[in-house]
Amino acid sequence: MRDFSRSLPMSLLRAREAVMRQFRPSLRQHGLTEQQWRILRALAAIETVEVTELARTAFLLGPSLSRILRDLEARQLIERRTAKTDQRRSMVSISEKGVKLMASVAPSSEAIYAEITRRYGVRKLAELQEMLGELEQSLAGLGASEEAIAEE
């Protein structure tokens, strides 16, 4: 079998870890995890969102998001209210306090991103992201649905 240290999942994991290692200390100093930061960033760009839509945007599974929103709400970084038209839906938005926290984190976060871009190269970074997007595209629809049909 192929040396697994050179497998695609491993390459992706290692690369992502190398990148996240840069950001975590800064986020941690502000009392945020990577996922909490993702959620705040997703909320900052929008008025309010449904939980399901937020899960899609922040690329989190429902259960994870559910827990994190509970905590962020307890810390008053976000606000929720149930939609008027559909009692099942919960509308989420970032709070004033959340906005301020983001403002205090953003500079360092931007600086780190800039340094990564500088080291790797702007053009190369764009190319890498393009290739990652294509990988994702090429695998879209290969997974769950067909298998599910086959198993039934």
Partner DNA sequence: CGCATTCACTTAACATGTTAAGTATCTCCC
Partner DNA sequence: GGGAGATACTTAACATGTTAAGTGAATGCG
Give least dist CB 129 to a second copy, A: 5
Taking CB under 8 A as the criterion, the residue among 30, 44, 50, 95 binding a second copy is 44
Residues 89-118 that bind DNA (CB under 7 A): 89-90
Residues 6-35 that bind DNA (CB under 7 A): 17, 20, 24-25, 28, 33, 35
Residue 115: both structure tokens together: 């340094």
The contact mask relative to a second copy for 80-99 (x = CB under 8 A, - = no) is: --------------------
Binding of a second copy by 33 (CB under 8 A):
no
Interface stretch with a second copy, choices 22-30, 47-55, 73-81, 90-98 (CB under 8 A) = 22-30
